[in-house]
C-alpha cells in the first residue's frame, strides 16, 4: 500500500473531475478539505452520497465547484449551508437535484458495471422534470404501462472519505457504512484518511473482515487523527456542534467565509 499524506493525496484531483463525498455521519474526510482547496483544481462535479454538508459548502465557497449532484445540502441543526445557498441564488453552481435512493441507485449501477438502475417513485416530481439524464420507460416485464425511472450509473473519478482504521496492507475498515464501499466500487480513484494504521491484517479475522473494504479498491491512505472534525466519526467521537455552528455563522458572508478558512485551524487539542 502507498501510505500517503493529505496534501499528496489532493494532487489526484484534476480540474473537471467528478468527486464523490459521503454524508455527514458516514465519515467525511474534513482533513482533506483544506489540502483540496490549496491544491486548487476547479470545475469539480460533486456527488453527495446522498447529501452534503460543511465540506461541500467549503469547496463551493472556495470556488472549486461546477456542479452539485445531491439530495440535499445543509449544516443539519446549524441550519442551511450558507455558501451553497448563495451560489444557488447567484446561479454560480449547476444543480442536479436528486433524492437519496437515486444517488445510491446510480452508484449501485456502476458497482455492477450496468448502465442504469430502475427506481420507483420520482414520477410527477419536479426533480425528474429537471433531470434530462434520467429516463422514464414502461416496465418491459409488465403486460403494459407501469412507468419506471432509469437512473444512469454514477461513475466518480475520485471518492474521498475518512474511517477509523486501515491496516498496513491498505485494507480499510468501513464497518457498517456500506455506502462507502459502493462509492469505492464505482470510482476510479479512492482516497481514504484514517485515525490510525494497525499492524494486523484486517482480513485475517472474519469478524473484522466483514467490515473491510479491501485494498483492491483503495488508491491511497493517509493518517489524519480527528480527521472528520468538526464532524463526528462513528464509534470514535461525536460531532463538535459548537464548531459547526461557528462556521455556519461565519460563512453567511463571503468575507466571513474567507476569514474562517484562513485560520490555521485543526482540531482542538
Partner 1 sequence: MADVLPREVLICTIARLLDGVRHVAVGASSPIPAAGAMLLRAMKEAGGTVGPRISILGSVEHNFFTNGSAELFDCAGQGRIDAFFLGGGQIDGFGNVNLVGTGGYPSSNVRWPGSFGSAYLYFVVPRVILFREEHTPRVFVEKVDFISAPGVSPEGVFRSGGPVALLTGKGLFRFDKTRPGFELESVHPGHDLAEIKQATGFQFAHDAEPRQTALPDRSTLDLLRGRVFDELAETYPEFAAQMRRELVAVDA
Binding-site ranges for partner 1 (CB under 8 A):
23-26, 49-51, 70-74, 76-77, 80-81, 84-85, 88-91, 94-95, 97-102, 104, 108, 119-128, 130, 145-148, 176-182, 234
CB of 239 to partner 1, least distance (A): 10
Closest approach of Cβ 14 to partner 1, in Å? 26
Determine the Cα–Cα distance for residues 104 and 69; give it in Å rounded to an integer.
Answer: 12
Of 77 and 133, nearer to partner 1 (C-beta) is 77
Q: How far is the CB of 104 from partner 1 (least distance, A)?
A: 4
Which is closer to partner 1, CB of 9 or CB of 81?
Answer: 81
Q: What share of the chain is helix, strand, coil (3-state, %, to 5)?
A: 35, 25, 40
DSSP 43-84: SEEEEEES-B-HHHHHHHHTT-EEEEEES-BB-GGG-B-HHH
What DSSP state is assigned to residue 216? G
8 A C-beta contact, residue 193 and residue 35 = no
* Measured distance CA(186)–CA(117) in Å, rounded: 13
At closest approach, how far in Å is the CB of 109 from partner 1?
A: 13
Q: How far is the CB of 213 from partner 1 (least distance, A)?
A: 12
Q: Output 9 or 60, the one with its CB closest to partner 1.
A: 60
Of 10 and 65, which has the nearer Cβ to partner 1? 65
Residue closer to partner 1, measured from CB, 237 or 260 = 237
Of 159, 164, 201, whose CA–CA distance to 182 is shortest? 159
Amino acid at each position: 500500500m502507498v501510505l500517503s499524506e493529505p496534501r499528496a493525496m489532493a494532487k489526484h484531483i484534476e480540474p473537471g473531475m467528478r468527486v464523490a463525498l459521503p454524508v455527514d455521519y458516514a465519515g467525511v474526510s474534513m482533513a482533506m478539505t483544506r489540502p483540496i482547496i490549496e491544491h486548487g483544481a476547479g470545475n469539480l462535479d460533486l456527488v453527495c452520497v446522498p447529501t452534503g454538508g460543511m465540506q461541500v459548502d467549503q469547496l463551493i465557497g472556495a470556488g472549486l465547484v461546477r456542479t452539485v449532484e445531491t439530495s440535499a445540502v445543509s449544516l443539519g441543526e446549524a441550519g442551511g449551508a450558507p455558501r451553497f445557498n448563495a451560489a444557488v441564488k447567484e446561479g454560480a453552481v449547476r444543480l442536479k437535484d436528486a433524492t437519496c435512493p437515486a444517488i445510491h441507485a446510480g452508484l449501485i449501477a456502476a458497482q455492477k458495471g450496468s448502465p442504469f438502475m430502475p427506481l420507483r417513485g420520482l414520477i410527477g416530481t419536479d426533480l425528474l422534470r429537471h433531470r434530462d439524464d434520467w429516463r422514464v420507460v414502461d416496465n418491459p416485464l409488465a403486460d403494459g404501462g407501469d412507468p419506471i425511472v432509469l437512473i444512469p450509473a454514477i461513475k466518480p473519478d475520485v471518492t474521498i472519505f475518512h474511517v477509523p482504521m486501515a491496516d498496513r496492507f491498505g485494507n480499510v475498515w468501513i464497518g457498517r457504512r456500506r455506502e462507502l464501499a459502493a462509492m469505492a466500487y464505482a470510482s476510479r480513484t479512492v482516497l481514504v484518511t484514517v485515525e490510525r494504521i494497525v499492524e494486523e491484517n484486517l482480513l485475517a479475522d472474519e469478524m473484522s473482515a466483514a467490515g473491510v473494504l479491501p485494498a483492491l479498491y483503495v488508491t491511497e491512505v493517509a493518517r489524519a487523527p480527528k480527521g472528520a472534525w468538526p464532524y463526528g466519526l462513528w464509534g470514535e467521537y461525536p460531532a463538535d456542534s459548537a464548531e459547526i455552528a461557528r462556521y455556519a455563522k461565519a460563512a453567511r458572508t463571503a468575507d466571513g467565509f474567507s476569514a474562517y478558512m484562513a485560520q490555521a485551524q485543526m482540531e482542538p487539542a
